[in-house]
Amino acid sequence: MSPPDALLHAVDRPNSWIGRARPREQAKRHAAGGGRFLDDLEPPRCLHAAFLRSPHAHARLLALDVTAAASQPGVFRVLVGADLDPVMTPWVGVLAHFKGLKSAPQYPLARGRAVFQGEPVAMVLAASRRAAEDALPHIHAEWEPLPVLTDPEESLAAPPIHAELGDNLAFTRTAETGDLQAAFARAHAVVESGFETARHTGVTLEPRGVLAHWDPAEERLTVHHGTQAPHMMKEIFVRHLGLAEEQVRVICPDVGGSYGVKIHTYQDEMACVAAARLLARPVKFVADRLESFQSDIHAREHRVHARMAVDADGRILAMDVEDLTGIGPYSVYPRTSAVEGNQVVNLSGGWYTMDAYRCRLRVAFTNKPPTCQYRAVGQPVAIALTEGLADLAARAVRLDPAEFRRRNLMPDGEYPAKAPSGVPLEGLSHQRALERLLEIMDYPALRRRQAEARAAGRHLGIGIASFIEVTNPSAMFYGVGGAPISAQDGCTVRLEPGGSATVASSLTEQGQGAEAVLAQVTADALGLDPARVRVVTGDTERTPYGGGTWASRGTGIGGEACLRAARGLSENIRALAGAVLQADPATLDLRDGAVVDAATGTGRMTLAEVGRLGYMRGDLLPPGVQPELSVTRHFQTRQYPFAFANGAQGCLLELDPETGWTSLLKHWVVEDCGTLVNPLLVDEQIRGGVVQGIGAALFEECLYDADGNLLNGTMADYLVPMAVEMPDIEVAHLCTPTAESALGAKGAGEAGTAAAPAAVMNALNDALAHFGARLTTMPFTPQRVLAALDAAGATAR
Amino acid sequence: MSGAVEIALTVNGEAVRRAVDPRLHLVDFLRSELGLTGSHLGCEHGVCGACTVRLDGETVRGCLVLAVQADGAAVETIEGLAADPAWDDLRAAFVARNALQCGYCTPGMLASAAELLAAGGVPTRDAIRDHLSGNYCRCTGYHAIVDAVESVARARAGAPAA
């Protein structure tokens, strides 16, 4: 754990809260079982939805008869695609700035054809979920199976899934800088490798859910929705229900994990909203676990081939990357399914200096569930291929992996700079991060321990991975392409008459601690105990407009808006107090719930007295003084498309060559996310990210057969990391604040997931190298490890 | 569908009598019949542990037990644990260490942690990890959860903090 108060903000006053490791107020409620999640809500007259989903990955719907189902006990109505036409229009997941990106119209319920297994076809609305499920087998559906495309390479050569699109290439982009051919021509060594990251998914412990209610008297739609982006979802409901924006309100209850899963437009959720509009009854849907595996967005099905050229001193000359990804039959609305691959193009090699770079991306439609942005979008792929090549190149020039990185990482202090792809970088600390990592790992001692273990017949592997992390995106990320996705956040801070503060922010809370961050930032500016700050989030009607919590933007953007609002309120409070006390506001400060003389700390009046004066006793105020005790401010980044964070990770593992089992012994993270508002929250956020990254490296994969059937649709079959398999994770920090904001915070939510797979892969290959084996296909299951050992044994001996 | 079956049990010390569908799971019964929404459904396969509750003192998966099987039994849920001062230290430790983020796994996690702590002694971190492996958490890295449980075990045993 970070020592409390070790990283206080540069502009600290005596009562500063920015930088303090502090428990969250909100955690107390959850620890007492007081969470209110979507499935805990049950309004009167609520209808529960259950969906008939396509059993086929690709099939024509020859007949669909819902008559028998509609007469089952408790069933109110059974709806099919055409029933929703009067109230909902289809959507297409493209963005203008992804030139050539194409997709087909998507409807809430499949129309005449299903294009992935699990696609919703009909919905039963009944008095209970049980009654709705009981009626499903009474729907008569007749299918004619069609050819199924599960492999992206084969898909590109096959007839199009959507005839009107011409082919199955959804998107392609090539970035090229420098003279690639010349760089490879003068290389001392060229290394190359394939890398595969497996299709996996977020597995939020709370499944997706929605509760929609149309009030026919007021003609207003209220949607309770487990989402990261309520304002975005509101706009989507407005657009596709043909309503005016003042008719729609979206409210987030507690959200049981999201990681990018609950920020997209899902057919089943849209069908519920449409049904609520149509029937003027509350309609509720919560996915069960099979439905989650079948229909939550998937991610990361990337097949990479990459080369790296180095000179005789081990300096990187160039990288050449080919990335192919299969995204399912639709680009997901409104964020699109091109972003993940696009990040691979933008970020690969992005922490090394080199002369030339090329990356070609191809995005293919397939008949698996749609993929979209899941935590660390594209970064695990970019980092794994880059750091995998770095280790290969180090070996080729006989350098220790740490020394290879030392020679190639972008030098600190030479920013702004550009990534090899051309993406601008504001200010990073790669060299210091590497040295700090080696220090906390005690790298030389680990190498000695490894040698001793090997002498004793045990196989330890040590892996390191440097990385950049996308945080604080500007409007260049989505808004520029026409999506209803705000890159700014708004925040209102209000002084209450009793001297406490209420904050309303466009951020949302899924457990990361956004509300705690806002409370601390406000407390810092107002000289209040954070326990006296109430925070409201997740309601389009009660919070300022803004993007929400995603892409590690909450603290950096929403936190900055909050800081500005709270500082504005501090000014207003001091102006009011100054007018009453006949003091220059510049000589006043706010500390410990009171207005004090800044120089001496002498209390002049409490915030409760300010509040009372401001709200109740206008009669006592000097003429012309109008108290303004609510302040709203907005913030967005403009100068850089992203505020990149950076860091390095290390992994120590033990390989059992007899069983292929990989035991993780320890994991280390050095992260530079700029200003830390609450290190306690940041540390566990990073650790949680690491564990999701380890899941991707060792366990997680959505397995499909050649017919597009999901083979592991339960949590007994789809493996996520358990406590016993996870190591202790040590986290250390550097602090290079972004200059775009006063707060200086970058995000930290992607780091763990972004680079853990690369660190684990490099550690595993460090252990496998003893056997002449190497593995780059994730997840690294015991079966794959044994196969790699067998293959190496067959050639080496 | 067979008819409803009458069951009588105590839940968090309160006598409860209801007529339930024989197929109704205990966790669905607790949530929908009694409004005890602190127990959560994650996987419905007995794997994730989000629905962990105590049945006659033993921790069970609420999704693998039928409500009718709880007839005559004493059930304790997170709502009961939260009202029991004997577990104030455990809940406080989870909050202090930020051993929860979204909170969805937390009630089940606390039930399993309480079971381990009730056995007494100071378990090793590996033993804590092993014991909690039937409770999935997707948000934290488990590290803080292990910290929290370890700190309570040490404090209860009068051992110095790690």
> What is the reported pLDDT for A12?
52
* Number of neighbours of residue A645 by Cβ within 10 angstroms: 30
Q: Does any domain span residue A389? A: yes
* Same domain, residue pair A104 and A241: yes
Give the tokens for residue B26: 């205990």
Percent over 90 (pLDDT), chain B: 96
Residue of B102, B106, B133 to mutate for A, most A C-beta atoms under 10 A: B102
* Number of neighbours of residue A418 by Cβ within 10 angstroms: 13
> What is the reported pLDDT for B159?
82
Q: Does any domain span residue A408? A: yes
Residue of A39, A684, A753 to mutate for B, most B C-beta atoms under 10 A: A684
* Number of neighbours of residue B6 by Cβ within 10 angstroms: 10
Averaged pLDDT in 10-residue chunks for chain A of 797 residues: 43 75 94 97 97 98 98 98 98 96 98 97 98 98 98 98 98 98 98 98 98 98 98 98 98 98 98 98 98 98 98 98 98 98 98 98 98 98 98 98 98 97 97 98 98 97 98 93 95 98 97 97 96 98 97 97 98 98 97 95 97 96 96 97 97 97 98 97 98 98 98 97 98 98 98 98 97 97 97 64
* Same domain, residue pair B132 and B97: yes
> What is the reported pLDDT for A13?
58
Is B98 in Cβ contact with A23 (below 8 Å)? yes
> What is the reported pLDDT for A327?
98
Which residues on neighbouring strands pair with residue A666, listed in sequence order? Answer: A652
Q: CA angle A219-A224-A229, nearest 5°?
A: 105
Phi-psi region of A147 (alpha: psi -120 to 50; beta: other; left: phi over 0): beta
Chain A nearest-CA distance from B72, in A, is 24
Is the Cβ–Cβ distance between A505 and A490 less than 8 Å?
A: yes
Complex confidence, ipTM: 0.97
Domain end (from B81, B115, B142): B81
- Among the partner-chain residues B48, B81, B110, the one whose CB lies closest to the CB of A205 is B48
* Same domain, residue pair B96 and B137: yes
Give the DSSP letter string of A121-133. Answer: EEEEEESSHHHHH
* Chain A with chain B: Cβ pairs closer than 8 A: 183
Residues of chain A with C-beta less than 8 angstroms from the C-beta of B78? 32-33
Write phi, then psi, for A321 (nearest 5 degrees). Answer: -125, 135
Residues of chain A with C-beta less than 8 angstroms from the C-beta of B44? 288-289
Phi-psi region of A482 (alpha: psi -120 to 50; beta: other; left: phi over 0): left
Minimum CA–CA partner of A717 in chain B? B47
Is B128 in Cβ contact with A511 (below 8 Å)? no
Minimum CA–CA partner of B39 in chain A? A33
Alpha helices per DSSP H over A52-120: 67-70
Q: How far apart are CA A353 and CA A404, in angstroms?
A: 12
* Same domain, residue pair A720 and A765: yes
> What is the reported pLDDT for B37?
98
- CA distances from residue A789 to A191, A205, A253, A767, B94 in whole angstroms, order as listed: 21, 35, 49, 11, 43
* Same domain, residue pair A527 and A666: no
* Same domain, residue pair A311 and A358: yes
Chain A nearest-CA distance from B152, in A, is 15
* Domain range for B72: 5-81
Is A685 in Cβ contact with B41 (below 8 Å)? no
Residue of A203, A205, A228 to mutate for B, most B C-beta atoms under 10 A: A205
Nearest to A18 by CA among A552, A540, A546, A521: A521
Total domains, chain B: 2
- CA distances from residue A349 to A2, A54, A306, A410, A415 in whole angstroms, order as listed: 30, 41, 11, 10, 17
Chain B nearest-CA distance from A34, in A, is 6
Give the tokens for residue A709: 């059937």
CATH value at residue A380: 3.30.365.10
* Same domain, residue pair B77 and B90: no
- Among the partner-chain residues B38, B45, B99, the one whose CB lies closest to the CB of A716 is B45
> What is the reported pLDDT for A538?
98
Is B38 in Cβ contact with A715 (below 8 Å)? no
Residues of chain A with C-beta less than 8 angstroms from the C-beta of B40? 37, 205-206, 256
* Same domain, residue pair B63 and B128: no
Q: How far apart are CA A121 and CA A60, in angstroms?
A: 11
Q: Does any domain span residue B28? A: yes
Q: Does any domain span residue A183? A: no
Residues of chain B with C-beta less than 8 angstroms from the C-beta of A691? 140-142
CATH value at residue B74: 3.10.20.30
Beta-sheet strand order (sheet of A189-197)? A169-177, A356-364, A316-326, A302-310, A189-197
Total domains, chain A: 3
Instruction: Assign 3-state DSSP to chain A and report helix, strand, coil percentages, each to 5.
Output: 35, 25, 40
Q: Does any domain span residue A465? A: yes
User: A102 in helix, strand or coil?
Assistant: coil
- Among the partner-chain residues B31, B126, B139, the one whose CB lies closest to the CB of A511 is B139
* Same domain, residue pair A629 and A648: no
**What is the length of chain A?**
797
Is A513 in Cβ contact with B101 (below 8 Å)? yes
Residue B93 — very low, low, confident or very high, per pLDDT cuts 50/70/90? very high
* Domain range for A626: 25-35+488-635
User: A642 in helix, strand or coil?
Assistant: coil
What single DSSP character describes residue B105? S
Domain end (from B56, B81, B106): B81
pLDDT at residue B2 above 90?
no
CATH value at residue A137: 3.90.1170.50
* Same domain, residue pair A102 and A240: yes
